[in-house]
Amino acid sequence: YHFGGKEGLRAAAADYIVDTIQTIAGQAIGNLRAPSDSEAGDPEAARAQLFTALERMVAFVVARPEAGEIVQFVLRELSHPTAALDRIYDGVFEPTHRRLCLVWEQATGEPAESEATRLTVFTLIGQVVYFRIGREAVMRRMGWRAIGDAEAVKIAATVTDNLGAILAARKDRRS
């Protein structure tokens, strides 16, 4: 094997996934860093960033063909973890999730590391991922021949409606 065997190939695939998703996540939610002081004081900008992040996540996870292989690889790793999962978790899952939690805190005032915030962010990500892993069922039920750009726009509208409803419910709870 060019990659030094099956584990080397898995590691190379994991590194490719990390690089690809870091690029997408960077475009969607900015660099994976703590917010600056100017960003921290602007809940509206943070809310807009959450909407943009979800729209871009849908555009990649749901509409891009290569996302299918990435999601399948990650699901296999989650089901039967190898060292590749550690690379993906450390390189993508944890930093991206932490960054989204920080943006959520800016948007809502809820602590980034609270259990509620972390679960909410997993919920936001999960609904997007479902449209990839449940693709065949979604297409059949919706009567779609494929999920392309037009369908991805409809999915993004639904996902962002859900985000708006969650944000409104949290705001009502604080009022």
The answer to whether residue 32 sits within a structural domain is: yes
| One-character DSSP codes across 119-131 | HHHHHHHHHHHHH
* Residue 3 in this model has a pLDDT that exceeds 70: no
The answer to whether residue 90 sits within a structural domain is: yes
Give the pLDDT band (50/70/90) at residue 32. very low
Check which CATH number belongs to the domain holding 125 and give it: 1.10.357.10
**12-28: pLDDT as tens digits:** 888 888 888 888 777 66
**What is the residue whose two structure tokens read 């936001």?**
124
Q: Provide the 8-state DSSP code for 36.
A: P
| CB-CB neighbours of 9 under 10 Å | 14
Its domain, for residue 82, covers 6-174
Task: Tell me the pTM.
Answer: 0.85
The stretch 152-156 carries a mean pLDDT of 98
Can you give the pLDDT at residue 40?
61
The answer to whether residue 159 sits within a structural domain is: yes
The answer to whether residue 56 sits within a structural domain is: yes
The answer to whether residue 44 sits within a structural domain is: yes
* H helix count then E strand count, the chain: 9, 0
**113-147: pLDDT as tens digits:** 999 999 999 999 999 999 999 999 999 999 999 99
The answer to whether residue 149 sits within a structural domain is: yes
Please state, for a pLDDT cut of 70, what percent of the chain lies above it. 89
* Residue 10 in this model has a pLDDT that exceeds 80: yes
Are the beta carbons of 54 and 139 closer than 8 angstroms? no
* Residue 171 in this model has a pLDDT that exceeds 70: yes
The residue with greater pLDDT, 57 or 174, is 57
The answer to whether residue 1 sits within a structural domain is: no
Domain count, the chain: 1
The answer to whether residue 33 sits within a structural domain is: yes
Give the pLDDT band (50/70/90) at residue 33. very low
* Residue 164 in this model has a pLDDT that exceeds 50: yes
Are the beta carbons of 11 and 90 closer than 8 angstroms? no
